Amino acid sequence: MDATYDGDVVRAGRSAREQFHDARGYGRPVDGDVHLAPVEAAHLLFRGDLDAVVDARPGTAGERLGFRAFLTSAAVSEVAFFLYKDLRDRGFYLSPARDGWVDEVSGDFVVYPRGRGPWNGAVAYRVRAVGERAAVTADDLATLAAVDADEGGAGVLAVVDEESEPTYFAVESPTMTGSTHHDIPEIAGDLAADRVLVWDPPAPLHERAFYGQRLDEGDAVQLSLVEAAYLAGQGTLSIAGDGGRNPAEIIGERGREVEGERFDRRLRIYAALRAAGIVPKTGYKFGADFRTYADVESVADLGHSERLVRVLPSGHTFTPRDLALDVRLAHGVRKEMVFALAHDEGVEWLSVGRLTP
């Protein structure tokens, strides 16, 4: 069976509509015929269900294109083809997210729940497909995270690697709340090179609210600069020999000396987490900015941290490889990977997890 490529869609007749659309969810029926997206036509060529696509674009000689010629033509993106094939191989029906083809044009494909198709209305995933070397902006992820609430179906980023194998990431907007709220009496500390030492700490500081670390059991508590800057900003911490200056400013200056503008960004995210009742501690061992504990009643009774948080500037662009690294590591230690974007107007949280469709 042949079909005709007009530069936009691949058109085929009634019997193709019955075989491909009605029975197997390809394309969109139009006046009793069927319109196939190029990627769908490529898949039908690959399977041998179509014999050729006739190139009927204006100015062409009506060449008959087989799978090989059609796939390597500009009509079809290889990334889209390998993704389409993978989802079909996994038993899904899916539609290219073209205007008029799907309920909401978002991402590249609308994937239906297994056993369903374009006839039912239910949506499992809305998938954006990119190659291993593509740039993925924070806005791209935010758009995927918004899918669930706005459109139904989960927002998914699919990355097709150099070996044409896709991996899938579910992108969501996590609700960041915890229950850690403890009163800390006022304290004083010494500013050392890049930490603050509190020599006579009240028990709630570390043992309840989980600020800092004990130098030794029952001994001084040393605070990281970001912890100290937050406590100083809350009016809880003063610094010995501050010369009458605001201790939050003194610590902020030191923080910017050792870490540049990242310090202020991390402090903002730190403060947003504390305000939400969540305890951030260094995520260094996991290659992240923070690991977080939502519900700390007592440090003696501490569970595992639940999340890893990476702090990023507004407008950050991800590479899929960096995403894969963060998400895989978090998965390996059974934590949720959360990206915190420091926008001028507030913090945006995005969680990214592995998905096997």
- SS3 assignment for the chain: CEEEECCCCEEECHHHHHHHHHHHCCCEEECCEEEECHHHHHHHHHHCCCCEEEECCCCCCCCEECHHHHHCCCCCCHHHHHHHHHHHHCCCCEEECCCCCCCCCCCCEEECCCCCCCCCCCCCEEEEEEECCCCEEHHHHHHHHHHHHHHCCEEEEEEECCCCCEEEEEEECCCCCCCCCCCCCCEEEEECCCEEEECCCCHHHHHHCCCCEECCCCCCEEEEHHHHHHHHHCCCEEECCCCCCCHHHHHHHHHHHHHCCHHHHHHHHHHHHHHCCCEEEECHHHCCCEEEECCCCCHHHCCCCCEEEEEEECCCEECHHHHHHHHHHHHHCCCEEEEEEEECCEEEEEEEEEECC
In the complex with a second copy, the residue whose CB is nearer, 155 or 320, is 320
Q: Which two tokens stand for residue 242?
A: 């501050």
CB 307 to a second copy: min, Å: 16
In the complex with a second copy, the residue whose CB is nearer, 182 or 354, is 354
In the complex with a second copy, the residue whose CB is nearer, 3 or 76, is 76
Catalytic annotation, pick one of 281, 316, 335, 343: 335
In the complex with a second copy, the residue whose CB is nearer, 30 or 192, is 192
Catalytic annotation, pick one of 26, 304, 316, 343: 304
Rounded to whole angstroms, how far apart are CA atoms 233 and 235? 5
Q: What is the CA radius of gyration of the chain?
A: 27
In the complex with a second copy, the residue whose CB is nearer, 122 or 325, is 325
In the complex with a second copy, the residue whose CB is nearer, 144 or 330, is 330
Residues that bind a second copy (CB under 8 A): 46, 68, 71-72, 77-79, 131-133, 159, 161-165, 167, 190-195, 197, 199, 212-213, 215, 220, 222, 224-226, 258-259, 281-282, 284-288, 320-322, 324-326, 328-329, 332-333
Catalytic annotation, pick one of 26, 112, 168, 293: 293
CB 225 to a second copy: min, Å: 8
Mention every residue, 6+ apart, whose C-beta is less than 8 A from residue 9.
35, 36, 37, 38
CB 260 to a second copy: min, Å: 9
293 is catalytic: yes
CB 338 to a second copy: min, Å: 15
**Backbone CA torsion sign across 309, 313, 316, 318:** negative
CB 122 to a second copy: min, Å: 30
CB 109 to a second copy: min, Å: 18
In the complex with a second copy, the residue whose CB is nearer, 21 or 281, is 281
CB 113 to a second copy: min, Å: 26
What amino acid positions are annotated as catalytic residues? 293, 304, 335
